[in-house]
């Protein structure tokens, strides 16, 4: 069995209708493949024209008329809006694994006016409406995917070639009223969602879609130890101070029971001053390990900057009041205190293993962008690792 790289393009309409989470859930759970790349595009006329020319293929089992429909759809719906000149948002996902192209195409499904059920992504999310005269009244394919490995390679190389110019953190793709003041915030879908091939990552994205915000940046992230230490650095001193009382009380009980003497409040406080920072550092190491796979003391310092073993998805959401809207849907840090219907209540289990992170202010979002670099083009890197230099 050969390891392949497959892609799925989420169309502008599917993104607009917030179907991204449902699409991702099906792809992860039904294929069992590894999600290795994620990038937002606002395709230029040049990219759209070149991609459209690859749609019609003798190697595609899809009916030739459907292929022609797809080609016309790409030309009309992926190119910049002719009325506003703004680019249209497209999300591209990369999956790796045995027979990846076949498995992805099987889950995506073919297009037909005679829908038979909801088994495939296109069964559920696409539309092909034909009138009594055989004319197409409405067509929306929901996603685009290659029919075979050769076609996948050809198209992936094309998108990789445009991935710096047309992809990354998208600018000027959303229209706002003159008085609106949009902001951006960072979301990390944490490693606990990727322990098994479940629909959790997509389900979390579905929850965030209730905010009405727009995804303008996306990246599969394997946070390095250095990144995790910097990202959660502000938490370290908080933990060192916060844990003093709890650890000193626990230590007092243990010592009094073990040695049979009583400790004064002054001695207990002094014990907290010693043990609190140690406990805080230990908890901080747990966070770094959870996010990157290794605490600083577990690997040589020369390896701190290497990508970690744990996978996250980094997303940038844009819109008016983005920070507060995302935080409201996410819920408080402690899942046990999160309200029903919030992400952390539904998917979190502990203060650390709590499904997702979101920036708590626009300024902190900018700090976090600088650390995780959501615009970094590791999408192209994955493709070049598979097929060679583009």
Contact 371, 230 (CB under 8 A): yes
Last residue of a domain, one of 264, 280, 303: 303
pLDDT at 132: 84
Instruction: Report the CATH number that the domain containing residue 25 is assigned in CATH.
Output: 3.30.70.141
List, in sequence order, every residue forming a beta bridge with 348; answer none if it has no partner.
none
DSSP string, 85-123: -----EEEEEEEEETHHHHHHHHH----SS---SSSHHH
Residue 355 counted as domain residue: no
Model's pTM, two decimal places? 0.92
Q: Which residues in the chain show pLDDT less than 50?
A: 1
Q: In Å, how far from its chain's centre is CA 346?
A: 18
Residue 311 counted as domain residue: no
Contact 11, 111 (CB under 8 A): no
Dihedral sign (CA 195, 197, 198, 201):
positive
pLDDT at 113: 76
Q: Please tell me the total count of domains within the chain.
A: 2
pLDDT at 387: 95
Which H/E stretch holds residue 347?
helix 343-347
Residue 349 counted as domain residue: no
pLDDT at 115: 65
Token pair, residue 152, equals: 């996948």
Q: Is 314 helix (H, G, I), strand (E, B) or coil?
A: strand
What distance in Å separates the CA atoms of residue 148 and residue 363, rounded to the nearest whole number? 45
Residue 115 counted as domain residue: yes
CB atoms within 10 A of CB 61: 9
- Looking at the structure, do residues 162 and 281 belong to the same domain, yes or no? no
pLDDT at 237: 83
**Residue-wise burial string across 125-143, b where 16 or more C-beta atoms lie within 10 A, e elsewhere:** bbebeeeeeeeeeebbbbb
Token pair, residue 126, equals: 């696409």
DSSP string, 216-248: EEEEEE---HHHHHHHTHHHHHHHHHHTHHHHH
Residue recorded with tokens 């901080």: 284
**Domain range for residue 279?**
228-303
pLDDT at 258: 85
Contact 187, 357 (CB under 8 A): yes
What distance in Å separates the CA atoms of residue 309 and residue 302, rounded to the nearest whole number? 16
Residue-wise pLDDT for 74-121, tens only, equals: 999 999 999 999 999 999 999 999 999 999 999 999 888 776 667 899
Phi-psi region of 262 (alpha: psi -120 to 50; beta: other; left: phi over 0): beta
- Looking at the structure, do residues 157 and 238 belong to the same domain, yes or no? no
């Amino acid at each position: 069995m050969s390891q392949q790289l497959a892609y799925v393009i989420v169309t502008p309409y599917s993104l607009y209708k917030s179907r991204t989470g449902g699409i991702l859930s099906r792809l992860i759970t039904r294929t069992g493949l590894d999600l290795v790349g994620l990038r937002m595009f606002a395709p230029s006329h040049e990219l759209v024209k070149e991609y459209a020319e690859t749609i019609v293929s003798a190697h595609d089992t899809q009916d030739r008329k459907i292929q022609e429909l797809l080609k016309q759809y790409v030309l009309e719906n992926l190119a910049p809006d002719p009325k506003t000149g703004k680019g249209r948002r497209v999300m591209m996902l990369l999956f790796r694994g045995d027979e990846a192209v076949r498995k992805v195409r099987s889950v995506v499904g073919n297009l037909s006016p005679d829908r038979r059920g909801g088994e495939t992504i296109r069964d559920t999310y696409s539309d092909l409406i034909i009138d009594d005269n055989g004319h197409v009244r409405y067509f929306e394919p929901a996603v685009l995917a290659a029919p075979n490995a050769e076609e996948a390679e050809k198209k992936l190389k094309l998108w990789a070639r445009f991935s710096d110019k047309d992809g990354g953190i998208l600018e000027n793709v959303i229209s706002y009223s003159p008085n609106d003041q949009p902001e951006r915030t960072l979301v990390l879908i944490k490693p606990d969602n990727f322990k098994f091939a479940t629909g959790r990552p997509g389900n979390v994205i579905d929850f965030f879609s209730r905010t009405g915000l727009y995804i303008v940046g996306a990246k599969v992230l394997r946070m390095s130890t250095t990144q995790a230490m910097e990202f959660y650095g502000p938490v370290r001193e908080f933990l060192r101070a916060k844990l003093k009382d709890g650890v000193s009380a626990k230590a007092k009980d243990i010592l009094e029971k073990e040695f049979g003497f009583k400790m004064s409040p002054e001695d207990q406080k002094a014990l907290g001053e010693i043990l609190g920072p140690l406990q805080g550092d230990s908890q901080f190491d747990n966070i770094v390990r959870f996010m990157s796979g290794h605490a600083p003391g577990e690997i040589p310092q020369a390896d701190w900057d290497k990508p970690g073993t744990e996978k996250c998805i980094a997303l940038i959401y844009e819109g008016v009041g983005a920070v507060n809207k995302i935080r409201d849907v996410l819920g408080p840090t402690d899942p046990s205190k999160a309200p029903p219907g919030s992400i952390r209540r539904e998917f979190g289990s502990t203060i650390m293993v709590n499904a997702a992170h979101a920036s708590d202010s626009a300024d902190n979002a900018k700090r976090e962008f600088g650390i995780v670099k959501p615009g970094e083009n590791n999408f192209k890197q994955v493709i070049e690792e598979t097929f060679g230099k583009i």
